[in-house]
Amino acid sequence: MRFENVSVVIPTLRETEEFLKTVNVILDNCNKNDLKEFIIVVCKATTEEALKYVEKGAEIAANAGVAYQVLYQKRPFLGGALMDGFDAATGSHVAIETADLNTAPENLGKMIGLAKQHPNDVISCSRWLKGSAFENYSPIKKAWNYCSQKFLQLLYFTKVTDFTWGTHLAPTSLYQSIRFTEMRHPIAVEEVVIPLRLGIKFHEIPGTCHVNENDVSVQPLWANLLYLRPAFKWRFASKKSMLREEQSK
């Protein structure tokens, strides 16, 4: 296959100015011809104020000549929002961004460049490569994160350095063929470990993870233990079980 363009999936809940900054940063750092569409995934809990900014984002995208789809999610929680976004994607590749600037949207242009060179592989941002950084991140969580990444490297015998950030660019056909099961944040682990088990290569670039000091959605430390569940589950599962029924036949 070859890289043609990318569908950018952005789930949103309560983000306002950060959402618009995310859209603008992507447009400023990417060739518009490389962007197939924005897929903005909203849910029942998305605030009225956030929806106003989603509408403003549509104007910005229209002025840039990039398609913009507002998708009302059917599956629950963040994992469900991403799955719905993957299914709706029509680009040759799909990229995941958050609406709060956490996933370093300024790097998407670099990720697209790598995808053009390696169109069959997954391009990923890492918080642990040289040149990366954490902003407003709890030192305790950072230490836990580091230990977790090292453990997962050993568990999967891989050089991938970040399993849990969830900022990836992958062939759309790959993500549409995978049987994702995590409905919450640990879907980020599935986005890495399932392709690894399927023999897909990864290419990482450094990125800065920014956590908003006022972000009430940041998970408590104990919730990070949930990321280990899919890590163990898929490490020993059959490859057939990782694919949707129609793909595994």
List the domains of the chain with CATH numbers: 6-238 (3.90.550.10)
Task: Express each pLDDT in 111-145 by its tens digit.
Answer: 999 999 999 999 999 999 999 999 988 898 899 99
Q: What is the pLDDT of residue 216?
A: 46
Which distant-in-sequence residues (6+ apart) come within 8 Å of 44 by Cβ? Answer: none
> pTM of the prediction?
0.94
* pLDDT band, very low/low/confident/very high, at 247 (cuts 50, 70, 90): low
- Cα separation, 70 vs 40, in Å, equals 5
CA 125 to chain CA centroid, nearest Å: 9
pLDDT, tens digit, 9 for 90 and up, residues 63-103: 999 999 999 999 999 999 999 999 999 999 999 999 999 99
